[in-house]
Structure 1
Amino acid sequence: MPAPVLYLLGSAAPPVLDAAKAVRLGRSLGWDVVLGLTPTAADWLRDDLAGLEELTGHPVKSRYRRPGDPDVLPPADAVLFAPATLNSVNSLALGITTSWVIGYAAEAIGKGVPLSVMPCTSTALTAHPQFDRSVETLRGAGVRVLLGEGFHVPDEPGRGNPAVYPWAAALQAVTGRG
C-alpha cells in the first residue's frame, strides 16, 4: 500500500529555509511528501531545489502548469501550508490565487482535502486587522489554523528564531497525533 501523500506548501518566511528538515520529518511520520513553494520561497531555495526534488522524489512546484501539460504530482491526502506569511494567510482567506501554492490550498478547501495552515508572522503583522478576519474565515471553512501555544506564537519584529519553528508539532497535528 503506498504512503499517504502530504503536500507541504511554503511561503517566503525564514523557516522555509529548513524545508528539507520538514520533508524528512514528514517522511519519518509515513508521508510521501510533495513540496510546493511560492515563487519567492522557491527563489530563496534555488540552490537547494535539486536536492529537495531528490529528497521528495517529486518535482518542487512553484508555478501553475501550462494548459495541456501533464500533472505529474500525485493527489494529496492532506495539505500543510507552513510557513504561511501574512500575505499568504490573507490571500488564501480572500481567495486571491495569484500563486500556485495559494491556488492549490484554495482548491483543497473546495475539494474537502484536510488543510492545516501554520503562520509565521510577527506580532506587528498579526496586529493588522485583516489577519484575525482571515484566520476566522479559514477556520470557518474547515481549515485547521495552527496558531498559538504549541504551534506558532508570533514574536516581536526581528526577534523570531526560525530554528525553533514548530515543524514537528505541525506535522504531528496533520498526522493526527497533535
Structure 2
Amino acid sequence: MSDQPDKPFLQIVVCAAGVAADVGKLITAAQERRWDVGVIATPQGLGFLDVEVVGTQTGRPVRSAWRSPGEPRPTRPADAIAVAPASFNTVNKWAAGISDNLALGVLCEAPAMDIPVAVLPYLNSAQAAHPAYRQSLERLRGMGVLIGSYEPHRPKAGGGADRYRWEEALELLAPKLSAPA
C-alpha cells in the first residue's frame, strides 16, 4: 500500500454513474499536484470501475466495505474528499444523513471533522428537477460542502461526459487547503 505522509491525502468517493470509469483523470490530476490518493466506491459504483487499474494507479486497493473490528485502518485520515462522480442517490442519501455504506459513512462524518469536501454531481436533468435533489444540494452547501458546476444532461441522451470537469474538484478544494488552520 502506498502511504506518503509528506503528501496530503485525497480520498475520492466514486458513485455509480456513466463517467465513473474515467476517475483515473482525477487521480492523475491530483497526483500531479502532489496528492496521495485513495478511492472508495459506493457498492453500485464498484461495477463502473476497473478496480485493478484504479488500485494500481493509486497504489492501494479500492475500498467499498467497512473494515472488520480489530482490523487496522487501511488509510490515514483524509485531508480532503472529492465525490466524483456524485450520483442523485448519493447526494440525496448523504444530505438526509443516511449512512448505509462506507462511502456515505465517510461523507456523513466529514463536515463535522472539518474535512473539506468537493462534490461533482453527474446526473440527468429529470433527476436534477426533483425537489429533493435541490433541497439536498442546499443542505450540503449549508454544511460547507463545495458543489461543482456540471449542468445535468438530457435523460437518455448518452450523458455529458465531454463536459464533466474532473479537475474542478481540485480547483474547489484549493482555497480550503491553502487557508490557515
| TM-score above 0.5, yes or no | yes
Q: 1:3-152 alignment to 2 at 5 Å?
A: 3-45=7-49, 48-146=50-148, 151-152=149-150
Counterpart residue type for residue 171 of structure 1:
L
Shift of 1:63: 1.0
Q: What code does the residue aligned with 1:67 have? A: P
Percent of aligned pairs with the same residue? Answer: 35
Shift of 1:154: 0.8
Which has the higher mean CA deviation after the structures are superposed, 164-173 or 126-135?
A: 164-173
* Structure 2 match to 1:156: 154
Q: TM-score, with normalisation over the residues of structure 2?
A: 0.89
Residue type at the aligned position of 2:172: A
Greater Cα shift, 117-126 or 156-165? 156-165
1:100-142 deviations in Å (ceiling 9; x for gaps): 1111011111211011111111110011110111011111111
Question: Which stretches of structure 1, 4 residues or longer, exceed 6 Å deviation after superposition?
Answer: none
Structure 1 residue runs without a partner (length 5+) = none
Displacement of 1:53: 1.3
RMSD: 1.5
1:155 CA displacement: 1.5
Q: Could you say what secondary structure the match of 2:62 adopts?
A: coil
How many residues matched? Answer: 171
**Equivalent AA in structure 2 for residue 52 of structure 1:** V
Could you tell me whether the CA contact under 8 Å between 2:9 and 2:79 is conserved in 1?
yes
Aligned-partner Cα distance in 2 for 1:129–1:163 = 27
CA–CA distance in structure 2, aligned partners of residues 32 and 175 of structure 1: 15
Measured against aligned partners, the alpha-carbon deviations of 1:24-46 in whole angstroms (never above 9, x if no partner) come to 1111122111111011111222x
Deviates more, 1:154-163 or 1:90-99: 154-163
Task: Give ranges in structure 2 of 5+ residues lacking alignment.
Answer: 177-181
